[in-house]
Amino acid sequence: MYIEITDDFSLSKIAESGQCFRAKLLDDGVWRFITGSNILHIRPLAHNQYEIDCTTPQWRAVWLPYFDLDRDYSIIRSRIGKTDSYMKNAADTGAGLRILRQDPWEMLITFIISQQKTIPSIKSCVEKIAEMYGDTVETPYGCVHLFPSAGQMSHITDEELSQCKLGYRAPYIRDAIGKVASGQLDLDTLYSYDDIQLFNALKSVHGVGDKVANCIALFAYGRTSLVPVDTWIRKVIDGVYGGQNPFTKYGNDAGIMQQYIFYYAQHNKKSLSEKPAGRLF
């Protein structure tokens, strides 16, 4: 099946943006994305055309919201003021990024794991959990392990958790499994919560602090007004904006701006480290 996407859309930038950890470039320029039990293979063609291997109903029901394709990101980038040159450069560099609407359970576990880990290490841990406990699906591009549900992970032993190299995060993962598997934390119900209620509910899981809660809210529940602040975002706030939060003025687009900044900072680490603290632009 062939589709056309005319708005900002870069599969490589999405995969490298630090919000999803199972996207993978396969042979012949095909990208694989996984959410829940759904697997998509998508290949860029010419002139905003893409080849995909799902049905039209699946594309509309699963992948349109997953890639946030009902939102015009080119318009969002155009709203950046001329005086915010750093944000403008970041958005121009990151054009093609989109905030993914991912599976809440996978995001809860993934971003608990993400604390004090590099992106390659996070990917390795997530894949190990999927390989050990997830269902296996055969695709034209090989075997894929789906991310396991809380129920599938509910009988994991401490020894098994240690094999996933979770370190001090293992008790946090166990607490998340227990709360979700028992129904104490209903991740589907959280869709109806406002931002503050959602934030507080996510923080009821041991090991989920402000940054992790904001990541889950942004990358699973689409709360684009929320801004996760990690080491790189803090460096930008302190070193580029003199300690003043640049995201608040962007309202419901603040989380999208954060993602542009994160991507830009990751690809301009040297220039960021050389920028003197307190300098605005």
Residue 153 has pLDDT above 50, yes or no: yes
pLDDT of residue 270: 66
Q: Does domain 2-94 correspond to CATH entry 3.40.50.2000?
A: no
- Residue 279 — pLDDT band, cuts 50, 70, 90? very low
Residue ranges covered by each domain of the chain: 2-94, 104-219, 231-274
pLDDT tens for 7-31 read 999 999 999 999 999 999 998 899 9
Report the alpha-carbon distance of residue 44 to residue 47 in Å, rounded: 9
- Is there a common fold for 2-94 and 104-219? no
**pTM score of the predicted model:** 0.93
Averaged pLDDT for residues 171-185: 96
- Cα–Cα distance, 154 to 138 (Å, whole number): 25
The mean pLDDT value for 196-204 works out to 98
Check residue 267 and give its pLDDT: 85
275, pLDDT greater than 60: no
Alpha-carbon span 50 to 40, nearest angstrom: 12
Alpha helices by DSSP H, listed for 27-169, are 56-58, 64-66, 73-78, 85-94, 104-113, 119-133, 150-153, 158-163
**pLDDT value at position 273?**
56
Which CATH code of 1.10.340.30, 1.10.10.60, 3.40.1440.60, 1.10.1740.10 fits the domain covering 104-219? 1.10.340.30
